[in-house]
Amino acid sequence: MDCSHVFEFKVNRLIVVFALFLAFFSVTPAAFAQVDSLATDSTHAETKAEKKFDIGKFALHHIADSHSWHVIGHTYINLPVILYTPNGLVTFSSGEFNHDDEATVVVERNGQRFVKMHEKIYYASEVANAHGQYVELDEKHHALNKRPLDLSITKNVCTLLLSVLVLLAVFFNVASGYRKRKGKSPKGLQSWMEPIILFVRDDIAKPNLGHKYERFMPYLLTVFFFIWFNNMLGLVPFLPGGANLTGNIAVTMILAIATFGITVFNGNKYYWKHIFMPDVPWWMYIVMVPVELFGIFTKPIALMIRLFANITAGHILVLSLICLVFVFNSLYIAPISIAFAVFIGAIELLVAFIQAFIFTILSALFIGMAIEEHH
């Protein structure tokens, strides 16, 4: 199959330009941070401990999943904790941890004791360590305690459910538009979504899948809109958004596994022949077969990492720019960091669409390679 059209696509050239741009800006805050820490070291050595602002920790905390949803100031929505333990299902509000994230507050349920550290729930140790933490730590401050099976409704799960509801509401509405105005021109939400549906069909599915495209349309459309909606929802900094769902490896892993499964289960004999008996001299099989087998797995893994890394990087970038204020410890830097954050935010809007597009077109490409007929 000819894949060249993917790389000729204008958007990809745009991505390259923006990637270089992003790379430049992602380096800059780190350099600033270093300068700042040097300055702090020399001038305010005595207040270093309280002034020191760890931008990396802050950003990672914000892009990670959470058991509570920050609304504003000290207001949080406490999400339910659901744990599957040997003693049965344990449920309680995450509010019981009292916003502790360093394993100092123990919650006892069904004769089991739990602590929360870095948004992960552990079985608490019998006694606290020197810092009052009920966990054992290794030298890198990672908890060594065992973890129960965590099925909690976290921030990401909430966003996931919300996005599912939004997608269902939007597309049921669109579908009802087609039922109501049968054969007529689209209206409202329907006319907004139709070009995108047609884009997925005509520019993603048809060129890659050929005449058998219709079978894979439900998957491609679902995956495209799921990624796109969630990317956009992630860009909203306040309540309904703010979670980093498509920048979470678990989510992108499931999406990549879906593409992988469809590719493997729809692969025809030509596809498998190409992998196990490629048209090369037999002694080349020693190299080719492992490489091809490896290729089956690297493709979905690349899909998984690409989406995760792009969205996470975008979030980190915006957070870092905002954090410039705290890094410089000056309000005068705010206009600059806001201007940059707005600029990156605008690019992230574009990236939200492009990443959904790339995930979908590459899925279509991989499926297309598996179902391609050779004559």
Partner 1 sequence: MELLLPEFGLVIFQSIAFLLLMFLLAKFAWKPILAAIKEREQSIDEALNKAELAKQEMARLTSQNEELMKEARAERDSILKEAKTLKDNILTEAKTQAHSEGAKLIEKAKIEIENQKKAALAELKNQVSTLSLDIAERVLRNQLQDKAKQEDLVANLLKDVELN
Distance CA 165, CA 173 (A): 12
In Å, how far from its chain's centre is CA 166? 18
Residues 6+ apart with CB under 8 A from 225: 167, 171, 196, 356
Q: What are the DSSP E strand ranges found in 112-162?
A: 112-117, 120-123, 149-150
Per CB under 8 A, 251 contacts partner 1: yes
Closest approach of partner 1 to the CB of residue 150, in Å: 5
Distance CA 253, CA 244 (A): 14
Which residue number, 169 or 334, has a Cβ lying nearer to partner 1? Answer: 169
Given candidates 57, 91, 131, 172, which one binds partner 1 under the rule CB under 8 A?
Answer: 172
Per CB under 8 A, 89 contacts partner 1: no
Given candidates 1, 20, 38, 168, which one binds partner 1 under the rule CB under 8 A?
Answer: 168
Closest approach of partner 1 to the CB of residue 180, in Å: 10
Q: Write out the two tokens for 204.
A: 């993603």
Which residue number, 182 or 374, has a Cβ lying nearer to partner 1? Answer: 182
Which residue number, 246 or 337, has a Cβ lying nearer to partner 1? Answer: 246
Q: How many residues bind partner 1 (CB under 8 A)?
A: 46
Per CB under 8 A, 154 contacts partner 1: yes
- The interface region with partner 1, picked from 34-42, 87-95, 231-239, 242-250 by CB under 8 A, is 242-250
Q: Binding marks (x or -) toward partner 1, 309..328, rule CB under 8 A?
A: ---x----------------
Q: Which residues of 155-169 are buried (b: 16+ CB within 10 A; e: fewer)?
A: bbbbbbebbeeebee
Given candidates 14, 151, 275, 296, which one binds partner 1 under the rule CB under 8 A?
Answer: 151
Q: Binding marks (x or -) toward partner 1, 48..67, rule CB under 8 A?
A: ------------x--xxx--
- The interface region with partner 1, picked from 8-16, 98-106, 252-260, 289-297 by CB under 8 A, is 252-260
Distance CA 343, CA 73 (A): 26
Distance CA 254, CA 269 (A): 26
Nearest to 196 by CA among 159, 222, 235, 157: 222
- The interface region with partner 1, picked from 1-9, 13-21, 30-38, 177-185 by CB under 8 A, is 177-185
Q: For residue 219, give Cα distances in angstroms to 37, 45, 66, 167, 371.
A: 49, 57, 29, 14, 15
Interface of this chain with partner 1, residues 66 to 85, rule: CB under 8 A: 82
Q: Which value, in Å, is the radius of gyration of the alpha carbons in the chain?
A: 25
Q: For residue 180, give Cα distances in angstroms to 197, 296, 300.
A: 18, 44, 40
Per CB under 8 A, 226 contacts partner 1: yes
Per CB under 8 A, 149 contacts partner 1: yes
Question: DSSP alpha helices (H): ranges in 44-136?
Answer: 48-51, 55-63
Given candidates 178, 276, 294, 297, which one binds partner 1 under the rule CB under 8 A?
Answer: 178
Given candidates 10, 74, 146, 182, which one binds partner 1 under the rule CB under 8 A?
Answer: 182
Report yes or no: 342 and 349 within 8 Å, Cβ to Cβ: no
- The interface region with partner 1, picked from 4-12, 43-51, 68-76, 217-225 by CB under 8 A, is 217-225
Distance CA 224, CA 340 (A): 28
- The interface region with partner 1, picked from 163-171, 233-241, 276-284, 289-297 by CB under 8 A, is 163-171
* CB-based contacts of 90-95 (< 8 A; 24+ apart in sequence): 90/114, 90/148, 94/67, 94/68, 94/152, 95/68
Given candidates 118, 212, 274, 306, which one binds partner 1 under the rule CB under 8 A?
Answer: 118
Residues that bind partner 1 (CB under 8 A): 60, 63-65, 82, 118, 149-152, 154, 156-157, 160-161, 164, 167-168, 171-172, 174-175, 178-179, 182-183, 194, 197-198, 201, 214, 217-219, 221-222, 226, 248-251, 253-255, 258, 312
